[in-house]
Each structure stands twice: as structure tokens, then as C-alpha cells.
A and B are shown apart, each in its own frame.
Chain A
């Protein structure tokens, strides 16, 4: 089997699936959204978060790995930290929106029936601490938890990159060890006012580093993982089996007489999203391998018109990702405050998709217009990080 990611040309699959995961993250972040039935989490134990983190690791290694070789470690680190800063600013922006939303809804509701629920606004009693904790990423209100993870993962990425540059195992083995120890010892990062980080970086770093190792292979030319048709065929079988299980569970929750296959045995191993439960990781890796088995870089559907907006979003993932979260928070607010029935849900989803695609198109336009290339010039061969 050849390297699943060919070294030459832009691999549109990365853009497409990252774009798709951005749409899924937007949809899944709106509670009670009927479209949420049709995202990855309905057919797999893993969901769009795994896809996003893996591809982000992959492209980060690809882009900054090349930068490291061309311009040196200092420049690559500076580039990475420019990204980290952008993510940080986005996080603070989201925090302000969240605070506005909580103050507005909870303080205006003020119904004693929900006395316990309104405790979510307790942080307003001590804003001097809450704001500091938001600045240090320890305060992660509901729905705003994936950005802090991404910030931390990119923050330590220069070290990971230098390790990968020495050899893939220098990156992978410590990462795997940290993951295993985290699961075994129950290590977690404390959050404010209590609890832990929803996405535990100590566990999720493993998936990011796996993605980075695969991406770095395109810089170094050394593929660090086993390869062979048997592996991909096995992945297809595992994926199909896990999809069958998930669909049976889904139907079971909707219509009880249909049995939930292996639910008693597997359920408790799938709940722990915080620590990237091994079953979620296995499910994601199987799906990823099965996907590259079925979808080749030259697959025709990647050039269909309907795929173009998804690819466009995947190519500008940082902005579209942050925007997706903001839109989900606003969309949810609209659904909760005014009207939440199906037509409105549809409208909120369509509006969200349109704004995400429109923004990606605008960013693409900035890039091409700004770089003063003649119209029709070829796109750069490197995917954007």
C-alpha cells in the first residue's frame, strides 16, 4: 500500500472532512437541534471533536513542520504562537458573549422553581475572580470547552514538533504514555468554580499527536504507522460493526423494542468524552482508516459543486470554527428565547451554514485579492493550518 497521504498536491480530503466536522460541531453545539440526529455522533462513539482535533494536528505538523525546516525553530514557534494568540482572543470573546447570555437569561428568569439551575450564574457574584479565571482558561462555561483544549495543544506544539523532527516515536511514545497514565491515574485539570476541564488536554493530546505524526510524515517522508491492505480492511470491518452498534442504540432510544446491541457491555466505556475513552479513540481511528480506504484524493465527489463550500470552510478552519461556536451560542439563544420549533431550527441551521460559508469565501477572497495574483492563479499547494 502506498502512503495514504500522497506527498504531492493539495489533499482536498483534509479540507473536506475538516469542513464537515466544523458544520457538525456547529450543529451539535445547539441543544435540541433536530439536525443533531444526522451528525457523526449518531453512528459512532466518536464525534466531530475527534475529527477536528486529528486533522488540526495533521495540518499543524504539515504547515509548521515545513516552516521549521525552512526557517528554523524560532520562526516556527513564533508562527504557532500567533495562532495561539488568535485562539485566545476568540476564547475571551466567546466568554463575554456567554456572560451576557447568562446574565440576561438567568437574572431575568429569576423563577424560584429554577433556584438550583440559576446557580450557573453564581460566578456573577464574584466577577473579579470569574474574569481572572476566564483569562487563565480555568473558567469554561457550558459549550465553550473545545477552544481551551485547542489553545493548550497548540501551546505545547513547538515541543511536539521538535520531537517529531527527531523521529516519529519521540513524539508518539511520550504522548501515548501520558494518555495511558492519565486514564489510569485519573489526572485532570481543575476548572473554576469546580469540576474539571471538559476536554482533558492530558488525554486529548494523544489524538492530536497521532494526527501530527501522520502530517509530519509528509514533511519527513517517513510513515510512522503500520501499513498494508489488511489494516484498512480490518478498519472497514471494525467501523461497520461499530456503526451497526451505534445505529441499534439510536433506534433503541427512539423505539424501545429494538434491542441495543452490546449496550450493557460497552456503554460505560463510551461515556468518558472528557478523557477520550479508548473506545472513542479506536472508533475514530477505524473510521479514519476506513475513510481513506474508500475516499481517495482524486475521488470525484471532492470536486462536486456541493463539496466546494465544505472544502472552503475546511480551508479557513480557525475562523470558521470560532464563528461556528459563536453562531451556535447565538442560535441557541434565539431558539430558547423566542421560538424553538422545527421551522425555526431549520432557519437557524441554514443561517449558520450560510454565515460560515460566506465568511470562508470572504477570507479566500482576501487572500487571492491581497496576494495580487492574476485571476485564475493556482491555489497554494499547502493547506492552511
Chain B
């Protein structure tokens, strides 16, 4: 990032602007919208002005552990704010069920306690990281994912799947590719919408929107908060597109 942009970004960060205007982190529409982007139940409830409960289940990046104030800055909270802003007449709540370091199987095991009792309209499931980091058998990963998706579907709710985070450094020591592929293919075959976080973050990284690598210590937490916010914004866009 050229220094001038840095200064500009620092100025922006210092001025209390509305959250959404902090940074232009749009992505090309083809990164966001696919044929599988359909959330019929959520759309129905929004139209009927019925309460909508969204459960965000996932790992550390769902919990928001990297932000200074995870309670306020994790992506699920941002998503809630964003959706409420767009639909002031619908009671919307997003519940954060992120727990660090869990594999797909660990999360699937949590569904009965952490997801179903809340009777959600939509489940946003962020997974794949722990499986790839621990280089678990790709087939075991795909099977667990498939089983989890089937289980969710049997509970008659809408599903959004989120794949891994991207940074050039981690991609050079963790073999994400087979897991990303397995996730993409499983989602595609099951007609589940996959929110392609990995590709979006890669797009931001390559286009100088964010620099995920050489970050001074004091800017790391604000960076994480901004990334969570941008991801929430894109996810809100996707939901918006699906319910329209």
C-alpha cells in the first residue's frame, strides 16, 4: 500500500464516519452471487415481517478473537447491525456461536446444543480452517461437511457456508487447495450457497484494498475489525440479493 493511502486510511479511521463508509471493500458481483444464492425461508419471514434469527457457527474468525472488542466487532454483530439498518421493520438477531480451533466434525457435533435450540431461520456456517491446518483426510472433511449440511437441511432452515480466510503467508505453508475444492464442490452438489471469503480476501489483497501481511502490531486489531466489517457487509449484500 502506498504511504499516502496509509495516511488517508489512518485519517478515515480517526474520523467517526458511518461504519459502512470506512473503506471501499466491494467485490466483483461474480464473486458474490451464484445460482445457489437462495434463502427462501429468510425471504419469506422478511416479507412477513416475522422475527429472523441467524446463527453464526464457526471458528476463531466467527468468534472475532482478533478484534480489540470481539463482542462489538466480530462479523456476526456487524451483520446484525447491517441487516437491521436495511430492514428496520423486521426483528433480526444474529447469534455468535464461534469457537476457536474446531474442525468441521467438532462443529457438527455442536449443532444439537448450539444451533437447533435457537430455532434459527438461517445458519451461517464458517468452517474448513482447522481441518486444513491439521491436514485431516480431505475425504473425512468432505464427509463431515456433507453430513453437517444434510443435518441442517433436515431441520428445514436456510444455509450459508463460508470458506477459509486468505493471506499469502498462510497459503504458502497450509495446503488449502484440496479443502477449498472439496468445499466448493460439496456446496455446489448440495445446492448450498458458498460465501467465498477466501476468494474475496484474496481479491482485496491483490487489489490493495487490504494488506494482510506486514502489519505493525498496533494496527492488527483495527485491521481485523475492518475485515470482519467488510465481510459482514458483503454477506449482508448476498442475503439482500437472495431475499429480493
Binding site for B on A (CB under 8 A): 31-32, 98, 101-102, 105-106, 109, 111-121, 140-143, 188, 191, 193-196, 198, 252-253, 256-257, 260, 263-264, 267-268, 271-275, 332-333, 335-337, 340-341
B137: min CB distance to chain A, Å = 5
The residue from A119, A140, A252, A340 contacting B133, defined by CB atoms under 8 A apart: A119
Stretch at the interface among B15-23, B58-66, B79-87, B154-162: B58-66
Q: How far is the CA of A109 from the CA of B167 in the complex (A)?
A: 10
B170 within 8 A of A: yes
Q: Can you list 21 contacts pairing A with B, beta carbon distance less than 8 Å?
A: A111-B212, A112-B220, A113-B223, A115-B60, A115-B65, A115-B100, A116-B61, A116-B100, A116-B101, A117-B129, A117-B133, A119-B101, A143-B175, A195-B135, A253-B188, A263-B185, A271-B138, A271-B185, A274-B139, A335-B172, A341-B206
The smallest C-beta distance from B77 to any residue of chain A, in angstroms, reads 17
Interface pair B146/A198, CB less than 8 Å apart: no
CB distance from B87 to the nearest CB of A (A): 28
Chain B neighbourhood of A196, CB < 8 A: 137
CB atoms of B134 and A105 under 8 A apart: no
Residue of B139, B169, B172, B182 with highest tally of chain A CB at under 10 A: B172
B162 to chain A, nearest CB (A): 14
Q: Quick one: CB contact mask for B23-67 with A, threshold 8 Å, 1 for yes?
A: 000000000001100000000000000000000000111000110
Question: Which residues of B approach A to under 8 Å, CB–CB?
Answer: 34-35, 59-61, 65-66, 100-101, 129-130, 133-139, 142, 146, 165, 167-178, 182, 184-186, 188-189, 206, 212-213, 215, 220-221, 223-224, 227
Tell me which residues across on chain A come within 8 A of B165, comparing CB atoms: 113-114, 117
Given A111-B66, A116-B100, A253-B184; A195-B175 close (CB under 8 Å): no
Most buried by B among A102, A111, A119, A267: A111
* Assembled-state Cα–Cα distance A118/B174 (Å): 9
Query: Smallest CB–CB gap between B40 and chain A, Å?
Result: 19
Q: Chain B contacts of A337 at CB under 8 A?
A: 168-169, 172
Given A142-B173, A268-B142, A188-B137 contact (CB < 8 Å) = yes
